[in-house]
Structure 1
Amino acid sequence: MLLSELLDAPELGLRLVYSAGGALDRPIGRLVTTDLLEPGRYLNGGEVVLTGLVWHRRPTDSEVFVASMAARGATTILAGKAQLGDVPADLLDACRRHGVTLVEVPIEIAFADVTEYVAAAGSAETGARLSASLVRQRQLLSSIAAGRSLDELAARISAEIGHDCRVLTPTGRHVVPGPGELNAEILDAITRRFLTADRTPAVADVGGTAYSLFPVGSGLGNRLTAWVLVIDGDHTTWSHDHVEAVHELCAIAALDRARRDEGRRALRPLVADALALVESGAPLADVAARLRQAGSHADRPMVVAVGELRDDGPSEVALSVFEDVALTVGPAVVAPGRDGVLVGFLPFVPGLPEQLRRAFGRLAPGLQRARLAVGISGETSADALAGALEEARFAQRAASAGRAPVSVVTSDEVASHVLLLATLPDDVRRTYTQRVLGPVLEQDRRTHADLLTTLQAFLACSCSWTRTAELLHLHVNTVRYRIERVEQLTGRDLSRLEDRVDVFLALKSL
C-alpha cells in the first residue's frame, strides 16, 4: 500500500503537512506507535511512526525526535493532535531538515483505526497478489505442457515486468539469449559478480547499467554449475509482483534445466564408450558411429580438450563445468578419461582456443582454492583423434604446472620455452638460475652495476651492441664492458649460441 493511498482514505481524514521527495509513491513499511523522545533504537528503516506527541515538552524536543528516527531510516511521521491540539511548527521545521514526511492525524481518529486500515489493505493486497501468482503459475505450467520453450516463457515474463530476461551460466553461455546475447565484457562482469556475491539475488553494476542476478533453483548449490537469471535493472526498486514473477520464472527454468541435465546424463555412457574406443585404437567406423550416437558431428573437424579441476569437491561439479563450456561451441561430448581427467571432443570453430580460455577463465573468481588446468589439441578429424588426444594430454600437463587459478594451454603453445620451463619444479628452476646467474645477481646487489638489466636488453636486441646502447641510452663501450663482465662472472661466451641459450633460459626462470 502506498502512502498516497492512505492519505486518500476519506474515513481517516489524514492531512499532509510536509512531503519529502517521492514519499507519496513509497510503499508503507512497518507501522510503529511510540511516544519515546528517542525512538531510533527500536526502528530498522522504512517505518511509518505514529506518535501522540507526548514526548514534546520544549521546541528542541522535535529536533531530537526526528533526528533519532531519521538516522534509522524511518520515512514518515503520523502525528496526532489530541495532546497538543495542533502539530507544532518546530516539528515541521525538523521534518524539513531531515527529509521526513509529516502527516496530521485528526483528534477523532484513533491510531488503532489507522493501523487496522493499513492491515486490512495489506491483507487484500496479499490475497490479490497470491491469486495473481496462482493464475500466472497455472499459465506458465500450461505453456510448458503445450510445448512452449524456455525462451518463449522468458519473453513473456520480460513483457510483463518490463525488463529483459536472459538465462546464463557462469561460463557465459546463453541458455536463453533474450533480445540478444551480451558482449564479452558485460558477461565477465556479471559472472564475476554472481560467483563472488555474499548472497543472491544480487545486483551487478556494469558501466552504470544494473543487472539483477537470480539463481535458478536452490541458491545454496555450487555456483560454478548454476544457471543464473539475468534481468536488466535493479530488482530492489521493483514491485513485489514483478519480483514474484521473476521467482516463478526461476522455478520454471529449474524444471527445464532438470530435463536437459537428464538428457545429457542419458548420453554419458555412449560418450564414455566413444572415448574408450579412441583410447584403445578402435577402427574409425566404430569410433565415428559411437560419436554420432552421442550427439557429435564426427564427419566435421574437431579438437580434443583435456581438463582437470583439482579440488576435493565431487567429480560431478568438474564434469558439469566442462560440459557447460563445451556446449558454448556446439554439439560436444565429454567424459572422464582412463587417467581420471576429463576429455571432450569439440567441434572446431575459428578462434576456439581464445573462446575456451575466456569461458573457463570466467570461473576463476568462484574456484577459491581449486585450480583448473585445460589442454587443447590442434584441429583434427575422427581418424586422428588418438594423436590429438595425446597432444591435448601433454598440453594439459603443461597447464597444470601453471600457478593461475585457471590455465588453458594449446598444443601449439607447448613448443614455447615458457611452457618448457613451467613444467619444471620450482626448486629445479631456482637452482639452475642461481648456478648460471648467481654471480651476476650478487655483483649487482653489491655494486648496483646494472649488469642484469644490460644482459636482458642485450639478448632482447639479438646481441646488437648499437641497438642495446640506444635502448639503454648508454655508450657502446659501456655496454661492451658490462657484457664482458657478465661473461667473466658466468663463464659463458655470449657469441656462442649454446651459452646464449643457457643464459636466456636462466633469465626466463627468474
Structure 2
Amino acid sequence: MEADVSQWPEPDTELLGRIAELLTDARSAHEQAKAARRDLARRSLDLVCSGSVPPEEIPIRLRSTAQAVLSGVATWPRCQYVVAGGARQGGRPVPAPALRVLLEEALVQPAGPVRVAAEDIAATVDGEQAVLLVLMPEPAPGLDLAALRQRLATALAHWLGPTDSVSIGVGSPVADPGNARRALGEARNALRSAQDGPDRVTVRGPDDLTAHFLSLLPLIPADARRSFAARHLGPLRHHDRRHRTELLATLEAFLECDASWTRTAARLHLHVNSLRHRIARIEQLTDTDLALLETRLDFLAALRAT
C-alpha cells in the first residue's frame, strides 16, 4: 500500500525530501568512486603492459596513479592481480563485464576468500578478460584460492550452462610497484593453466604452476638436466669466477623471494637499486627477461637440476 505524501505535514515532507537528496548524493559519490577505481585499474594495466614506458619509470607512475585515485594512500598499496576468462557453449566467450561484476561480488562477501571492501577493488576489462586489482589488507597473506573457487562455483551454479566454464588466474601479492608487471604476468600464466582444468570453475595461482613444473623434473634424463642447467647457469658461473661477483647467489635469492625486489634486497642486505643492477646484468649475460614467469621457472629448474 503506497502512502500519499501530499497529505503529510509540511515538516515531514521536507524531511523526506532531504533524505532523498542525501541518498542521491551518496549514490552519486559511490558511482564516482567506483568509476575512479575502474580508471585506476585501467591506467595501471595500460602502464604495466606498455611497451613504450621504460621499466624504471613504471613504479613511479604506478605509485602516483594510486595516490591520485585512492585518497589517504601515501604509498603504493599492497595488491594482488586477478584475471578471469570464460567460455560458453560453442566456444563463445563469457562477457568480460559480467565476469568483472561476479568477481567483485564474490570478493566482498563476508565469508569470501579474504575480507576486502568494495572500495578495495579496482576492476577493468581487457578484451575478453576481466582484470581486478585487489588492495590487500594487512596482515592477510593473500586471496584464499580454494575459498574463491567455492564462492564463484556457488554464484555461477545457476548462471552457467552444462558445458560453460570460468577460469581465474591469481598473481602473488605485491607491495612494490616495481613487481606489478611480474604479478600480472603470473596471473595471466595461471589463467592459461586454469583453462586446462577439468572443472566448471578453476582457480590457479603461481604456486600451482611452480609445483607442477618442478614435479616434472624427475622425468627428464639426468644428462638432459645437467645440459639444461649448464646452458642457463654457465654464463653466470663463469662471470662470478672471473669477476668475483655473486650473480648466481643473487639469482637464487631472487627466485626464492618470488621475484620480490624488496624481500630480495633485504635478504642480500642490498639497496634495491643495487639489486636492480645485478638483475639487469644477469638478464644481459643470459639474454633473458626475469619479469617473465616462464623465465623464472627455467632458472628455478636449472638450479634444482644441479
TM-score of the superposed pair, with normalisation by structure 1: 0.21
State the TM-score, normalizing by the size of structure 2.
0.30
Could you say which structure has the larger radius of gyration? Answer: 1
Q: Which structure carries more strand by proportion?
A: 1
- Give the number of the structure whose residues are more often helix, by fraction: 2
